[in-house]
């Protein structure tokens, strides 16, 4: 029996998040000085509109890979989204 025979077989690891997805989460972790600062950073750093940013972010927080990568941020965003939905 070789060493490789003794190791349990596992599925290959799922690919991680893209650089863009990591950048979205990193931007979301930051605090913002005032109104408009976040939107300006979205345009300058990511090169996308704030509307597109929030579309991507909403899809990203449903991704389990994002939860594994940054559970604090993803869970905070999920709670905020749920609270907004309850107010409607």
pLDDT at position 6, please? 53
* Spans in the chain with pLDDT lower than 50: 9-14
pLDDT at position 5, please? 53
pLDDT at position 16, please? 85
pLDDT at position 15, please? 72
Our separate counts of H helices and E strands in the chain read: 6, 0
Angle at 62 between CA 31 and CA 82, to 5 degrees: 65
Q: What pTM, to 2 d.p., does this model score?
A: 0.76
pLDDT at position 44, please? 96
pLDDT at position 13, please? 46
């Amino acid at each position: 029996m070789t060493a490789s025979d003794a190791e349990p077989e596992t599925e290959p690891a799922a690919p991680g998040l893209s650089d863009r997805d990591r950048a979205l989460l990193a931007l979301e972790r930051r605090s913002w000085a005032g109104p408009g600062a976040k939107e300006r950073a979205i345009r300058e750093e990511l090169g996308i509109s704030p509307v597109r940013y929030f579309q991507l972010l909403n899809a990203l927080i449903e991704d389990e890979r994002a939860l594994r990568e940054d559970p604090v941020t993803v869970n905070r965003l999920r709670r905020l989204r749920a609270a907004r939905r309850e107010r409607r």
